[in-house]
A and B are shown apart, each in its own frame.
Chain A
Amino acid sequence: MTTDKPVKVSIRHLYKIFGPEPEAAMTKVREGMGKPELLKTTRHVLGLRDINVDMREGQITVIMGLSGSGKSTLIRHLNRLIEPTAGEVLVDGENILTWPEGKLRQLRRETMSMVFQKFALLPHRTVLENAGTALATRGVKRRDWEPEAKTWLKRVGLGGNGHQYPHELSGGMQQRVGIARALTSNSGIMLMDEAFSALDPLIRTDMQDLLLELQEELHKTIVFITHDLDEALKLADHLVILKDGEVVQQGEPQHILLNPSDPYIEDFVADINRARVLRVRSVMQAGPAEGTFAGDIAPDDNLESVIAAAKGALEPRFRVVRKGEVLGTLEMATVMRALVPRGSRQAAE
């Protein structure tokens, strides 16, 4: 399901070492030295180590990891705000690391746009001017970018705030401006570095819904960074888990949740509300549906809503239907089994 879309951005064997002599430290890293040891012996920080990620067109790739795991470092390689020590970054198959300044600038202006954790709006410009930043930077005349910027401001719910200054808005509203600014640039790729982390939980949920709603119609290639598993699971088509600058596991989020490859990830997913995160499609039995059913459910429903539909009973079977097409069946027993994390399941057996 996820593999048919073409790869838009691809990271190949990417290494980043911070310090005065990264090349020397690089040899040690290739010989297998780890992050703490490297810091102790050479005083160089291992930012990223042998990262390989494919980001597919029209999908949301979420990069998740704890603080200091190298998420911001990684996303800044995609538009070369940070230069790697080794490796390649391919955009539409071209290695952008070989690009000269002019071409790189064009990439930043037209192909990629970015949303920041601390909003990073221009404080001396109005909301409308901020939203038009990308186009104005390209040299588009004000009378040409203004309608565009207004459209997107309206789309993110700030139609009436164009004349205000960023400091006159709440955090949530400021980040909406940040999103409008990225959308106005009309770029195919959107980079979002902890875009919602500075917002309080309710606003955050709103913004996640807004993003999903926009994505539904725009189909951008989004790279989204977060340290919050719930957020990652809600948004991700493809989830990359980063630890100490290395990828520990990547894949379909539901798949990672059901098959964690590593005790670190098991710990990570242990506290999650599985009923709310797991979806019908990842636990159902695919195939023709025969017999009697308690009702129809959609493949993207979460297990919580299935339990609610079953009214707590354990017997019912459901038919999984998307737009009139029958995809498979789901028994409540399967639902219950899926709710128990693998670790505890093995312990019980």
Chain B
Amino acid sequence: MATYDGFFDSLGLRDWCDAGAQDGPMSMADLLARAQGGSTEAAADAGSLWDLPFPSLDALAASCPAIPRSRDLTVGLETGFLGIRDALRVVVDPVTQPLSWMLREMLWVMTATPWWLMIPILLLITWAVGRSWKVVGLVALFIGLLAFVDHYQAAMETLAIIFVCAFICVLFGVPIGIAMSRSDRMQNFVTPILDMLQTLPPFVYLIPLIFLFSVTEPKLYGIAVILYAIVPVVRLTNLGIRLVDKDVIEAADAFGMTKTQKLFGVQIPLALPNIMAGVNQTIMMSLAMVVIASMVAAPGLGILVLRGIRNLELGTGLVAGFGIVLLAILLDRVTKAALARIDASASNR
């Protein structure tokens, strides 16, 4: 006798319960109970209110075999996912193929280019976005430091992944943010998705991705990074456009601007400081995720950290970790310098 037998009997569901009985795999509890030979029944009989089990799937299934057990749920999810996997792959695989291609090319370009060419190019880019000698100097120092301890290759790999992923985040995130800012319905639809992406621990969406793609494909970690890092740029684009001064928008309307003229001539330029703040955060979150994604074969400094953990190589892990900190500071300073430049041209408005 299990606890809830009486409940099903009183509802007159006994026949239905027994008819639906299925020989699912046994749960651990069942096995233990069987090993102890009928002691479950004794326990249930002696059970006072104090020991009343929560009417969970497993507890109910003990009285009524027609009810599925919790374990059937997880198994069901798994078979369900595996069932649609192939169909999903047919769609998602070709769509995301360019990502694999971009990641591979970028990794190749950034590692194959000799350091004496690559470093000046990076410094040039820094100057172009930041227009600050101080930041250029900082970048030179940090990259030099990383290269000096023979982490140049890994750092370049990490940077390559971040560049590609952040670029794609901006490419998709800004238009999504714009669409959200233009329609409340769109905002109500996208916001919960963003909330979910932001709160799910990154490991969790690695799981279905592993099933979906083969681990050798770079897009596996590419997608993980993009899903994680796209959130701030979408949010801040939406917010930035919504915060544009109503009076200015009204003036634009009064002078007969079309929606497109308003978007590109007024809303985006005025939202630019916010959008850039979003880009900064997106880049920082890409870095965080690239490190985690090394568990699914993302190359770069993360691999070294992982090796440090796996093999208990304390030194390797610490040096690589320190390298990640350097990259984080570097990326932050460069994007902040770009942001400051935009803010300065928009000061006091």
Contacts and interface: CB of A to CB of B under 8 A. Distances in A.
Interface string B220-255: 000000000000000000000000010110111111
Contacts of B266: 122
Interface residues on B, range: 20 to 34
Contact of A108 (B247, B253, B265, B345): B253
Contacts of B251: 114, 116, 120-122
B141 interface: no
A137 B270 contact: no
Interface string B254-271: 111110010001100110
A342 interface: no
B265 to A, nearest CB: 8
Contacts of A133: 255
Contacts of B254: 79, 81, 108, 112-114, 116, 191
B247 A118 contact: yes
B348 interface: yes
B346 A124 contact: yes
Interface string B327-347: 000000000000000000111
Nearest to A182: B255
Given A124-B349, A137-B261, A116 B250 contact: yes
A109 B256 contact: yes
Interface string A154-185: 00000000000111000000000000010001
A166 B346 CA distance: 11
A67 interface: no
A306 to B, nearest CB: 42
**Chain A CB within 10 A, most for which of B245, B255, B256, B266:** B255
A167 B349 CA distance: 6
B247 A106 contact: no
Contacts of B346: 123-124
Given A113-B255, A124-B269, A124-B349, 11 more contacts: A81-B250, A112-B254, A114-B251, A118-B247, A120-B250, A121-B251, A123-B349, A134-B255, A137-B256, A167-B347, A191-B254
Interface string A96-128: 000000000111111011101010111110000
B255 A109 contact: yes
Contacts of A191: 254
Interface in A49-83: 79, 81
Interface in A197-233: none
17 contacts: A79-B254, A113-B254, A113-B255, A114-B254, A116-B247, A116-B250, A116-B251, A116-B254, A122-B251, A123-B248, A124-B270, A124-B345, A124-B349, A133-B255, A134-B255, A137-B257, A138-B256
Contacts of B247: 116, 118, 120
Nearest to B269: A124
Contacts of B253: 81, 108
B270 A123 contact: yes
Contacts of A109: 255-256
Contacts of A106: 256
A109 B253 CA distance: 9
Interface of B: 245, 247-248, 250-258, 261, 265-266, 269-270, 345-349
Contacts of B269: 124
Residue from the set B256, B345, B346, B349 with the largest chain A CB neighbour count within 10 Å: B256
Given A114-B251, A123-B270, A124-B269, A167 B348 contact: yes
Given A120-B248, A124-B270, A114 B255 contact: yes
Contacts of A108: 253-256
A1 to B, nearest CB: 32
A146 to B, nearest CB: 17
Nearest to A134: B255
Contacts of A138: 256
B10 to A, nearest CB: 51
Nearest to B253: A81
Contacts of A105: 256, 258
Contacts of A79: 254
A244 B331 CA distance: 58
A60 to B, nearest CB: 19
B245 to A, nearest CB: 8
A112 B253 CA distance: 12
Nearest to B349: A123
A258 B257 CA distance: 44
Contacts of B245: 120
Counting chain A CB atoms within 10 Å of each CB, which of B250, B254, B261, B346 scores highest? Answer: B254
A85 B43 CA distance: 75
Contacts of B265: 122
A108 to B, nearest CB: 3
A242 B336 CA distance: 52
A108 B254 CA distance: 6
A-B pairs, 5 with minimum CB distance: A108-B256, A123-B349, A109-B256, A120-B251, A114-B254
B100 to A, nearest CB: 39
Which residue of B248, B251, B252, B266 has the most chain A CB atoms within 10 A of its CB atom? B251
A296 B258 CA distance: 56
A107 B250 CA distance: 15
A185 B255 contact: yes
Nearest to A168: B348
Contacts of A113: 254-255
Nearest to B262: A137
Interface string A266-308: 0000000000000000000000000000000000000000000
